[in-house]
Amino acid sequence: MDVASAINIFDPAFKANAFPVYARVRAMETVTRLHAPNGNPFWLILGYDVAQTVLKDHRRFANDYRTVLTEEELKAANDAYYGHLPAEDREDAIATDRLFSDHLLGVDPPQHSRLRKLVSQSFTPKFVEGLWPRIQQLADTLLDDLESHLNTTGNRQFDLLEHYAFPLPITVISEMLGIPGEDRDRFRQWSNAVLELNPQAGTNPEAMESLGAFAFYLMRLANEKRQTPGDDLFSGLLQAEEEGDVLSEQELIAMIFLLIVAGHETTVNLIGNGMLAFFEHPDQLALFKADPQRHIKPAIEEILRFYGPVEMSLARYAREDLVLGGQQIRRGEPLNVMIAAADRDPELVDNPERFDITRAATRHLGFGTGNHACLGAPLARMEGQIALPSLVARFPEIRLAAAPKELVWRLTGITAA
């Protein structure tokens, strides 16, 4: 099989049938070499064991390519990434990108450890537990609204993503950060533009414009909160910034940006993909509906494994020449873990292609692993634990208004929806 043409992660049509292809390729090689649309080579990790190695071995794999590439290589990388932009847009694009690059996923220790420590107390299971009543209240209000969505024949019909899966997590993370309600819709546009920016495929002027508007908005909000701090995470991070050397302006903007993007688009898809998995497996839906409270925790883990919202990790960069999965990797080459493929590796679970909410705990990579493992995992789990049981309790007869095959997977840089 010609792997390069079998796996085309940049083609929406491929995504509809990706899993059998991953399985066939993984049986031949767990690490495979592909080319991005701009011609740049990169390695895609399909096997579970190798995925763990890449995500956990911080000595050999870096998140921050600036620390791995030489000056010349950096210039060549910039040329490849921004080269297609008109010259007048190039400098702006580089400057905007730089503003957002110092976030947790873009840096390595010791900077990473410092940044992570600053936010971690707001995402511990204990802290997050306190948000339960508010999240339940939000879910209930959204469900009340859904009661009135009728189609032309008088039956209740609604867009689950638009009217339930999206508003819930965006409201939660916005309230945590203290972002005014009226601004939240704009985030969707901005953060979608960011996600549709494919790191391997180069950038485009519209996405850069959205990113610029996003940065401008966050800087304005930072100024407002500096003058009038609130009881929220954004103000907390600003104060931390002012008390010592802790956060630079650039780090602050990048941190808030990451929390907004990572904190809502992913959980939207946990809810959406979870319901899709249930609709495709009516036996599992029946089991779940019979006793949602009993099944919800393992069901969330199985959704994360089977249809994880984050399909692919961000790139890691080899710090040295090395051999991985039998392949010779050169220093500086990017590697992406295809989490969707690793989590269906028979090395992880028996019958990986089966969606089974009664499985014993699995060590899936839906939240990543190693020092970049998802910071928001306790929050995301809790949102799922509230959203899905509340939905099936309110609408026990819920079903898809279209055939599963008619649904189209959205193509984004890293997430599946």
The secondary structure element, H or E, covering residue 179 is none
Rounded least distance, CB 258 to ligand HEM, Å: 5
Q: Which of 376, 382, 385, 386 binds ligand HEM (CB under 6 A)?
A: 376
**Is the Cβ of residue 85 or residue 131 nearer to ligand HEM in the bound state?**
131
Structure tokens at 229: 């701090």
**Is the Cβ of residue 142 or residue 304 nearer to ligand HEM in the bound state?**
304
* Dist. CA 58–CA 373, nearest whole Å: 12
Q: Does 202 bind ligand HEM (CB under 6 A)?
A: no
Structure tokens at 232: 């929220």
CA trace torsion 360, 365, 370, 373 (10° rounding): -100
Structure tokens at 271: 């809810």
* Contact in structure between 161 and 268 (CB atoms under 8 Å): yes
**Is the Cβ of residue 76 or residue 161 nearer to ligand HEM in the bound state?**
161
Rounded least distance, CB 265 to ligand HEM, Å: 9
**Is the Cβ of residue 48 or residue 90 nearer to ligand HEM in the bound state?**
48
* Dist. CA 55–CA 315, nearest whole Å: 10
Span 230-289, contacts to ligand HEM by CB under 6 A: 258-259, 262-263, 266-267, 270
Between vectors from CA 247 to CA 246 and to CA 249, what angle results, nearest 5°? 150
Residue with tokens 């579970």: 48
Span 9-68, contacts to ligand HEM by CB under 6 A: 55
- Closest among 205, 198, 211 to 37, alpha carbons compared: 198
Rg (C-alpha) for the chain, rounded Å, is: 21
Residue 228: DSSP 8-state: S
Q: Does 322 bind ligand HEM (CB under 6 A)?
A: no
Q: Which of 44, 139, 349, 380 binds ligand HEM (CB under 6 A)?
A: 380
* Dist. CA 408–CA 12, nearest whole Å: 8
- Closest among 125, 211, 109, 290 to 203, alpha carbons compared: 211
Span 122-151, contacts to ligand HEM by CB under 6 A: none
Name the residue number minimizing CB distance to ligand HEM: 376
* Contact in structure between 83 and 336 (CB atoms under 8 Å): no
Structure tokens at 263: 């904190």
Q: Which of 53, 210, 313, 385 binds ligand HEM (CB under 6 A)?
A: 313
Rounded least distance, CB 256 to ligand HEM, Å: 11
- Closest among 412, 158, 154 to 265, alpha carbons compared: 412
Rounded least distance, CB 370 to ligand HEM, Å: 7
The piece of 9-17, 318-326, 373-381, 399-407 that touches ligand HEM (CB under 6 A) is: 373-381
Q: Where are the alpha helices (DSSP H) in 101-124?
A: 111-120
Task: Report CA torsion sign: 152, 154, 159, 162.
Answer: positive
The piece of 136-144, 197-205, 309-317, 393-401 that touches ligand HEM (CB under 6 A) is: 309-317
**Is the Cβ of residue 90 or residue 164 nearer to ligand HEM in the bound state?**
164
The secondary structure element, H or E, covering residue 135 is helix 132-146
Q: Which of 93, 238, 310, 318 binds ligand HEM (CB under 6 A)?
A: 310
Rounded least distance, CB 308 to ligand HEM, Å: 6
Q: Does 375 bind ligand HEM (CB under 6 A)?
A: yes
Q: Which of 272, 274, 309, 389 binds ligand HEM (CB under 6 A)?
A: 309
The piece of 126-134, 285-293, 305-313, 327-335 that touches ligand HEM (CB under 6 A) is: 305-313
3 state DSSP class of 365 = coil
Rounded least distance, CB 120 to ligand HEM, Å: 9
Assess whether the previous peptide bond of 110 is cis (omega < 30° from 0): yes
Rounded least distance, CB 269 to ligand HEM, Å: 7
**Is the Cβ of residue 93 or residue 255 nearer to ligand HEM in the bound state?**
255
Q: Does 412 bind ligand HEM (CB under 6 A)?
A: no
Which residues are near ligand HEM by CB under 6 A? 55, 104-105, 116, 173, 258-259, 262-263, 266-267, 270, 308-310, 313-314, 366-368, 372, 374-376, 379-380
